[in-house]
Amino acid sequence: MSTLVDDPPRSARPVGFIGLGNMGAPIAEKLAAWPGGLVVTDIRPDATVDGATRVDSPAEVATTATIIGVTVLDDAQVNEVVAGQGGILETAQPGTVVVIHSTIGPRTAIDLAELCAEKNVAVLDAPVSGGAQAAKEGRLAVMVGGERDAYQRIKEPYALVSDMLMHAGPIGSGTEMKLARNLLHFVSFTATTEAARLAEAAGIDLVKLGKVVRHTDAITGGAGAIMLRDTTAPIDPDDFWYDVFTHVRGLGEKDLRLALDLGAQLDVDLPLTALALERFADGLGVGEDRS
C-alpha cells in the first residue's frame, strides 16, 4: 500500500492532467478550478487549457503534481505515458496517484499498478461514463479500481469533474465495471436499430418514436430500471423481488411476442427480439417455476 504525501496540504498542490483530446480537455477544464492549480501536457504542442500551466512531458507534470489524470488513446499510450521515456515514473514523488481514465484492459492496469508500487506510486483505473457533455458539466460517472486510500485522496479534486465517483473495488475493477456498463450501452444501441427497422416497416415516424423513447426512459430509467438486486441468482418465491420480476416477465414476454408477430407480418427479421424472449425470464431470475 502506498504512503501518501500530505505535506503541504493537498489543496495547495497542483493536480496534473495528460491528454487533452475530446474527453481529456473538458475534464481538465473542470480541474483547472482546483485551488492548487493544474499542470497539463499533450502530444500536440499547441494543446492546453485556460488557467493551466502547460509543460512538455508527463515527467514534467509529475515534478509538481501528485494526483495525475491520464486520458490517452489506448493501452500502449497509457504504458508510454506512465512508464516510458519521459513518463510519469521518471520524476513521480512517493505517494503520487495516477488516475487512468482511458478504457484499457484490466490486466494493463494491474501490471502498471505492480510496476508503480515499486516506486511508492499508486495507480487507479478510472474510466468514465457520460460523454463529453457530462464532462463539460462536471457530471461524469467515474468508476475507480484500486487502493481505497488512493481513491479517497482523489475525491476532493474529482468533485469538480464527477457527481458520481464510484469505488468499484481493487485495481482493474473500474475497467471491468466500465466494460459491463458499455456492453449494456451498445447492445441496447443494437436493439434500437432492430426496433427502428420494425417501426419503419410499419410506417411509424422514427423521429417521433425516438422522442417517445427518450421521454419514457428519462422517467423509468431505461434498462437500468431493473438493476435493483445485488445478485443474478434465481429468485426464491418467498423473496420480495419474486413477484416484482415475475410481473416484469409477464409484461415483457407478452410484448416481445407481439413484436415478433408484427415482424413476421411485415417480413422484418428480429433476431435480438427472439433471443430476448428466449432468455428474458432466466435473466430476470424467474425462469423456473420454483414453487
**From 178, 208, 211, 254, the catalytic residue:** 178
Where helices occur in 146-270 by DSSP H, the ranges are 148-158, 173-201, 206-220, 240-266
Cα–Cα–Cα angle for 34, 97, 176, nearest 5°? 105
102-105: long-range contacts at Cβ-Cβ below 8 A with a sequence spacing of 24 or more?
102/19, 102/70, 102/71, 102/72, 102/73, 102/74, 102/75, 102/77, 102/78, 102/127, 103/127, 103/175, 103/178, 103/179, 103/182, 104/74, 104/75, 104/78, 104/175, 105/75, 105/175
178 classed as catalytic? yes
Mark 113-148 as b/e (b = at least 16 C-beta within 10 Å): beebeeebbbbbbbbbbbeeebbeebebbbbbbbbe
- Compute φ and ψ for 193, nearest 5 degrees: -65, -35
Angle in degrees, 0-180, between the axes of helices 173-201 and 271-284, rounded to the nearest 10: 130
Q: Would you tell me how many other CB atoms lie within 10 Å of the CB of residue 61?
A: 29
Is residue 284 within 8 Å of 239, Cβ to Cβ? no
Is residue 256 within 8 Å of 248, Cβ to Cβ? no
- Give the residue among 1, 279, 6, 276 at the shortest CA–CA distance from 120: 1
- Give the residue among 224, 92, 114 at the shortest CA–CA distance from 172: 114
Q: Which residues are catalytic, by number?
A: 178
